């Protein structure tokens, strides 16, 4: 078998990157061991939820641990009464375990919970069980290789089941390794104990008497029920995750995918602070909408608006933009949010032409069916905006600034000047470069314009179509 060379490994990684996550070995392993990464790399909102989930799982595990221990204590007491035997060592070790359980319940409270507590408590649990195995009545009289026969050894399964309730894979691995090392030390040391050999049969009778077998059965049953609780919590977590995914999908119905991801992943305070960044802003509205709506039923008006909004959304999102808002028969699109790029102005112009072409086809179809034609005016401007969350009780993620106002005023000039598409000089310079090439690319310079509410003049260009 030949060894895979460096170029072959690179090619394999490149091909694997194109596979879905469930089929990609690199991504699958990265996701499988994601919990071993530093939690500080997780977004702060997610990190806060993870810590809350850890607190909840710790409280749940501590409570279950205490309940199980109380039930086992009641069983031990009943067996001691039935057999007439009382073991001081067993009582002391049980009291120590009970004390640890109360400590775990107290430590799991929100006010005093610390992530390192689970590690300390897990270590103490393992140490106590191993001490019971080694120092208990059976452990003192049997060689190390008979450790699996000792009743307390069965408690290790219950301990691991209780650890699984803490919903931490790395903690579960730690507990498993600790149990394996400790149990291995008991199994493979002190293999020959000469004083035990002569009376081994007698000792084995004590080890396997009915009372100890009842304890074994209780430990095994308890472990099964604890694992059932762990499965229940895992299912509940799955349901919550599915519900959150559904909520995010519903959010994506009202926002573009990029915007929905931004709102879902970032903290509210971070979104409130926002940032100033360059962006291309597109405004478009239906010409003569009031006159159109006057001759239509409310249902017809809603159908008209839905058709326009669908076409506007498709044109904007197809060219890499997001729909910021719909205002009646108008739409506002943004290019460069959440992340700005050098192609944003060109993308906004492409979206404007795409929208106008789509509306032209839609209008022709309406005429063929005996309805009134539809025209749309579009204005585009490029400049700095503030992008962030605004509002008190009802929040809205939007962009504001002079660039937004200019884009809206530019769109309004399309009605007055009788053209379909107007773009500012700033937009064309950012998209096309030198002004000398604008006319060759189908843009006609207009006389300097004064926009409503602005004292300074602005250079505007109208789109000239080939048939013009």
Write the burial class of residue 323 (CB in 10 Å: 0-12 exposed, 13-18 middle, 19+ buried): buried
Lookup: tokens for 135: 């120092």
* 210 has pLDDT over 90: no
Residue 385 bridge partners (DSSP): 277
For the purposes of burial, counting CB atoms within 10 Å of the CB of 85, is it exposed (0-12), middle (13-18) or buried (19 or more)?
Answer: exposed
Q: Domain total for the chain?
A: 2
- What is the mean pLDDT of the segment spanning 130-139? 75
- Last residue within a domain, chosen from 245, 279, 314: 245
Residue 29 lies in a domain: yes
Who has greater pLDDT, 260 or 351? 351
Range of the domain at 417: 269-463
Kind of pairing between the strands at 421-424 and 376-390: parallel
In this structure, the answer to whether residues 174 and 308 fall within a common structural domain is no
Which domain CATH number covers 302? 3.30.70.1230
- What is the model's pLDDT at position 379? 95
- Degrees, nearest 5: CA angle 129-131-135: 130
396-400 and 376-390 strand pairing: antiparallel
Q: Which residue, 283, 349, 342, 285, is CA-closest to 319?
A: 349
pLDDT tens per residue, range 150-177: 777 777 887 888 777 777 777 778 888 8
Residue 68 included in any domain = yes
User: Cα angle at 262 between 347 and 334, to 5 degrees?
Assistant: 25
| Cα distance between residue 463 and residue 468, in whole Å | 10
**pLDDT in the model for residue 2:** 39
76 and 165 assigned to the same domain: yes
* Contact criterion met (CB below 8 Å) for 280 and 381: yes
Q: What is the CA radius of gyration of the chain?
A: 36
Question: What are the backbone angles phi and psi of residue 255, rounded to the nearest 5°?
Answer: -130, 160
Query: Looking at the structure, do residues 67 and 156 belong to the same domain, yes or no?
Result: yes
pLDDT in tens, 176-185: 888 888 888 8
Q: Are residues 223 and 275 in the same domain?
A: no
The phi, psi pair for 106, rounded to 5°, reads -65, -45
Higher pLDDT, 310 or 15: 310
Q: Residue 140 pLDDT > 80, yes or no?
A: no
Nearest to 462 by CA among 411, 419, 403: 419
Residue 301 domain flag: yes
Q: How far apart are CA 19 and CA 6, in angstroms?
A: 20
pLDDT at position 225 is 65
**57-71, 122-136, 225-239, 433-447: range with lowest mean pLDDT:** 225-239
8 part of a folded domain: no
Task: Read off the pLDDT of residues 356-379 as tens digits, 9 standing for 90 and up.
Answer: 999 999 999 999 998 889 999 999
Terminal-to-terminal C-alpha distance of the chain: 69
| Chain length of the chain | 468
Residue 383's pLDDT is 93
pLDDT mean over 106-130: 74
My answer on whether 282 and 198 are in the same domain is no
Most confident among 55-69, 107-121, 152-166, 417-431 (mean pLDDT): 417-431
In terms of domains, do 455 and 365 share one? yes
Same structural domain, 273 and 239: no
Averaged pLDDT for residues 215-233:
67
When mean pLDDT is compared over 68-82, 364-378, 388-402, the highest value belongs to 364-378
pLDDT at position 142 is 72
Q: For residue 317, is it within any domain?
A: yes
Contact criterion met (CB below 8 Å) for 37 and 47: no
Of 200, 230, 245, the last residue of a domain is: 245
* Shared-domain flag, residues 157 and 291: no
Higher pLDDT, 409 or 257: 409
d(CA 134, CA 263): 56
pLDDT at 281: 95
Give the pLDDT confidence score for residue 5 in this predicted structure: 46
pLDDT higher at 351 or 251: 351
Phi/psi at 97 (5° precision): -65, -40
- On the question of pLDDT at 11 being above 50, the answer is no
How far is C-alpha 79 from the chain's CA centre?
50
Instruction: Kindly state the DSSP code that residue 179 receives in the 8-state scheme.
Output: H
- Containing H/E element for 104? helix 88-107
Q: How far apart are CA 457 and CA 454, in angstroms?
A: 8
CA–CA separation, 342 and 345 (whole Å): 7
pLDDT range class, residue 245, cuts 50, 70, 90: low
Kindly state whether residue 99 falls inside one of the protein's structural domains.
yes
Please compute the mean of the pLDDT values over residues 12-23 and round it to a whole number: 46
Q: Strand, helix or coil at 460?
A: strand
In this structure, what token pair is assigned to residue 82?
């039935």
Residue 418: the pLDDT is 87
pLDDT reported for residue 380: 96
Predicted confidence at residue 349, as pLDDT, reads: 95
Residue 6 lies in a domain: no
The answer to whether residue 264 is domain-embedded is: no
Same domain, 342 and 420: yes
| pLDDT score of 24 more than 60 | no
pLDDT of residue 19: 46
Question: Over the stretch 270-306, which tens digit does the pLDDT of each residue have?
Answer: 566 677 889 999 999 999 898 888 888 999 999 999 9
Indicate the average pLDDT of the chain.
Answer: 75
70 pLDDT exceeds 80? yes
161/285 same-domain check: no
User: Are residues 40 and 175 located together in one domain of the fold?
Assistant: yes
Instruction: State mean pLDDT over 309-329.
Output: 91
Residue that is written with structure tokens 């959150």 in the block: 244
Q: Are residues 274 and 233 in the same domain?
A: no
Model confidence at 37, in pLDDT bands (50, 70, 90)?
very low
In the chain, what percentage of residues exceed pLDDT 70? 63
Q: Is the pLDDT of residue 312 over 50?
A: yes
Q: Answer yes or no: are the C-beta atoms of 278 and 334 closer than 8 Å.
A: no
- HSE, CB side, 13 Å, CA atoms: give it for residue 261: 7
Where does the pLDDT of residue 202 fall: very low under 50, low under 70, confident under 90, or very high at 90 and above? low
Contacts of 373 (CB under 8 A, 6+ apart): 363, 364, 366, 367
Instruction: Identify the pLDDT of residue 285.
Output: 93
Distance (Å, whole) CA 367 – CA 306: 18
Burial of 346 by CB count in 10 Å (0-12 exposed, 13-18 middle, 19+ buried)?
Answer: buried
Is beta strand 460-463 parallel, antiparallel or unpaired with respect to 443-445? Answer: antiparallel
Domain boundary (182, 210, 245) is at: 245
Residue with tokens 């994601």: 34
């Amino acid at each position: 078998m030949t060894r895979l060379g460096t170029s072959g490994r690179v090619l394999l990684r490149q091909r694997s990157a194109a596979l879905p996550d469930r089929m990609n070995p690199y991504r699958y392993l990265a996701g499988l061991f994601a919990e071993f990464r530093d939690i500080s790399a997780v977004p702060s909102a997610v990190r806060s939820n993870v810590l809350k989930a850890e607190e909840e799982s710790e409280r749940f595990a501590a409570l279950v641990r205490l309940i199980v221990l109380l039930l086992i204590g009641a069983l031990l007491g009943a067996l001691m009464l039935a057999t007439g035997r009382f073991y001081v060592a067993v009582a002391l070790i049980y009291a120590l375990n009970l004390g640890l359980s109360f400590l775990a319940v107290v430590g799991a409270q929100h006010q005093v919970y610390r992530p390192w507590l689970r590690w300390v408590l897990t270590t103490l649990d393992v140490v106590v069980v191993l001490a019971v195995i080694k120092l208990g009545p059976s452990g003192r009289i049997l060689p190390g290789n008979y450790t699996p026969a000792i009743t307390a050894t069965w408690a290790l399964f219950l301990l691991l089941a209780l650890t699984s309730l803490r919903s931490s894979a790395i903690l579960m691995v730690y507990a498993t390794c600790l149990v394996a090392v400790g149990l291995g030390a008991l199994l493979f040391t002190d293999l020959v104990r000469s004083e035990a050999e002569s009376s081994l049969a007698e000792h084995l009778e004590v080890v396997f008497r009915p009372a100890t077998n009842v304890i074994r059965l209780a430990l095994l049953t308890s472990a099964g029920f604890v694992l059932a609780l762990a499965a229940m919590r895992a299912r509940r977590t799955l349901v919550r995750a599915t519900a959150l995914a559904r909520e995010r999908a519903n959010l994506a119905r009202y926002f573009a995918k990029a915007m929905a991801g931004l709102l879902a992943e970032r903290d509210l305070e971070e979104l409130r602070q926002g940032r100033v960044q360059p962006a291309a802003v597109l405004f478009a509205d239906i010409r003569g909408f009031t006159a159109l709506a006057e001759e239509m039923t409310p249902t017809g008006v809603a159908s008209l608006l839905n058709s326009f909004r669908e076409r506007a959304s498709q044109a904007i999102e197809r060219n890499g933009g997001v729909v910021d808002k719909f205002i009646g028969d108008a739409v506002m699109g943004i290019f460069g949010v959440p992340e700005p790029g050098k192609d944003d102005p060109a993308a906004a112009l492409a979206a404007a032409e795409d929208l106008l072409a789509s509306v032209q086809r839609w209008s022709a179809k309406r005429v063929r069916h005996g309805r009134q034609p539809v025209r749309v005016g579009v204005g585009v401007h490029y400049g700095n905006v503030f992008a962030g969350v605004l509002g008190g009780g009802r929040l809205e993620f939007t962009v504001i600034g002079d660039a937004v106002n200019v884009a809206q005023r530019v769109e309004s000039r399309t009605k007055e000047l009788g053209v379909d598409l107007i773009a500012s000089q700033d937009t064309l310079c950012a998209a096309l470069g030198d002004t000398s090439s604008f006319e060759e690319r189908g843009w006609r310079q207009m006389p300097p314009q004064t926009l409503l509410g602005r004292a300074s003049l602005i250079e505007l260009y109208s789109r000239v179509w080939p048939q013009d």
